[in-house]
Structure 1
């Protein structure tokens, strides 16, 4: 019998080596490169709207989604993939917008509040942080044990908050954009953070230690929804995917602020401090059908990029450097969905963060 379902969410794990799809009937885990299905959980009584992996270990955080939802949307379920059973659940008074995992912390994002818990069988709340209205559940957490940095929308529009978990210190704020934030992403080391607003024409890179901008990239002149931003492992390349059906790759030249840029974000005119925004060193056309696309660098090769659409289209692109002229060619393409799946279109493309 044909199984009718739809992808509700998609995200990479902390190092990009795997990705997980929440579907209207469960979830599916894939190895990113080489592409391989690792685990598929299917239920008949509801879907998963948010699934968060913890590297490659068997524990996942799940939030219900779809109609019907497998779990109430105000609950977080910690799932043991080895035993295929629930370890424990966490209840909240409002809808859970996002969940992030570290080996020592569970971060739960509500509409205007973020709660941080210990990661054990009896989670205890350690900290809480207020944000502006955060309907997309924007939040990025560094997974490195030595750098427990978390970034999220601050109380004011366009403001980025930077918090050090467990430090007991209040969050510090960066005036990142004039409009609402739409996408934020930390580098693997947590020393850099990339941001995009709802307008989606500019990508800004900030140093999380100095709270200052170090780069500004122009994706395009027309507004776009930025669905994903990811750094490569060394932190010198950034890939950006949007609803324009394009994937851009940017080369970072600076990771620390100049003495003139100040220590606390945008202090005055961006153009005066950093000059003209730089354009990408690579632009790749995608056939996404208008659906959200996530992109990340391959863990096998920092110069290879993987792009995955919510329609199931998986593409790997490889950089070719011809005397400084970099071009991108498609190295591999496949639909990740099983032949037994028929993935329906959904009325409103969800944010895949």
Structure 2
């Protein structure tokens, strides 16, 4: 069974369809896999740096190792280049396979560091030493994890625990392995749907399948650091991503909304709050923190609510969204309002033929009108 089917619904198209997209560890680059190979792009500016086309199949998972010549590949599409139960460590300098790891079931996700290879299956997480040949370091059980949720940063590995709503944290450093440092976070009541680690590995953000609350916990102490509210209606959180300084968190939902939360120590003064937040004895809904700026993205798009996008950051003030279904990338700038633009007004104009400028600010109950999100550019991927 091929779990990496094309994300583009237009099967009649002669162009290869996009199968996956992922950012490297610093979010300076991203890679896309399609039915006939993979491409690598710089994030800012968005320029293609690598194009690898295969005549014998597609790539359903591609994961970069910083800016090195090594990538993790898993086959995908109607005719996979590699078996979907095998992880290929590809040496792009030599244009061939450097290492391979085979499993009894489909590979759902791969994460890389300079010293570790992490492979996610439906109910297992495998950790290997990045060596030739790879040496298996540990195996961890998880609750059923069909989305392949796991995150790796600064030798900290996070993935679903063995109970719904729980997160398991493993220290993959040499000291952590020697002391067998494993922590459990009871993050949600419902099943975890999305998670992300900060770049320093200090904090983990997670959302459940309910999609109304996002929680950020300390990886070191497991303490709850922030609790943010996306909305009151159920939603699927498709992507979470910390900014380069980890002071902001971007969220994309199937409601076609992009939210930005302030996660800095001074976030209480930046994020929006309900006008009744200071009234005592009211439900927690009224006291929750909301995103300090958000935008609705669905006015000129079709069919993306189910398939979703992948978020990354070009800078602390610029969010990029990759839409695999449409083979397109968009940039959204976080701007401080100058006081001359009324909230809710849409401004349109051309930007060198790349798209339109649209200011779509959503002001919360607390009336925070300081920030707005502007789509400042977009582009299609070549030949996809």
Both proteins in one fold, TM over 0.5: yes
**Counterpart secondary structure, 2:289:** coil
Deviation readout 1:144-182 (Å, 9 max, x if unpaired): 3xxx11100000011011111142315211111111111
Contact 1:45 1:70 in 2 (8 A): yes
Deviation at 1:253, TM superposition (A): 4.1
Deviation at 1:230, TM superposition (A): 0.7
* Residue in structure 2 matched with residue 149 of structure 1 by the alignment: 156
Of 57, 66, 72, the match for 2:77:
66
In structure 2, distance between residues paired with 1:203 and 1:220:
10
Deviation readout 1:241-286 (Å, 9 max, x if unpaired): 1221111100114499xxxxxxxxxxxxxx9999832111111222
Of 187, 206, 216, the match for 1:176:
187
Of 320, 323, 327, the match for 1:312:
327
In structure 2, distance between residues paired with 1:185 and 1:244:
20
In structure 2, distance between residues paired with 1:59 and 1:33:
21
Report whether the alignment pairs 1:302 with 2:347. Answer: no
Q: Unmatched 5+ residue regions in structure 2?
A: 1-12, 268-281, 339-368
* Residue in structure 1 matched with residue 51 of structure 2 by the alignment: 40
Structure with more relative contact order (C-alpha pairs < 8 Å, separation 6 or more): 1
Matches within 5 A, 1:215-234: 215-234=226-245
In structure 2, distance between residues paired with 1:196 and 1:184:
6
Of 102, 108, 111, the match for 1:100:
111
In structure 2, distance between residues paired with 1:59 and 1:139:
20
Deviation readout 1:322-352 (Å, 9 max, x if unpaired): 377011222222112x2x43xxxxxxxxxxx
* Residue in structure 1 matched with residue 380 of structure 2 by the alignment: 335
* Residue in structure 2 matched with residue 263 of structure 1 by the alignment: none
Report whether the alignment pairs 1:18 with 2:29. Answer: yes
Report whether the alignment pairs 1:276 with 2:287. Answer: yes
Structure possessing the higher radius of gyration over alpha carbons: 2
Runs of 4+ in 1 over 2 A off after TM superposition: 253-256, 271-277
In structure 2, distance between residues paired with 1:293 and 1:242:
9
Cα 1:3/1:120, change in 2 over 3 Å? farther
Matches within 5 A, 1:179-328: 179-254=190-265, 276-287=287-298, 288-289=301-302, 290=304, 291-298=307-314, 301-310=315-324, 311-322=326-337, 325-328=370-373
Deviation readout 1:62-81 (Å, 9 max, x if unpaired): 01111111111111000011
Deviation at 1:188, TM superposition (A): 0.3
Aligned residues: CA RMSD:
2.1
TM-score (norm 2): 0.79
TM-score (norm 1): 0.85
Contact 1:215 1:274 in 2 (8 A): no
Q: Unmatched 5+ residue regions in structure 1?
A: 257-270, 342-353
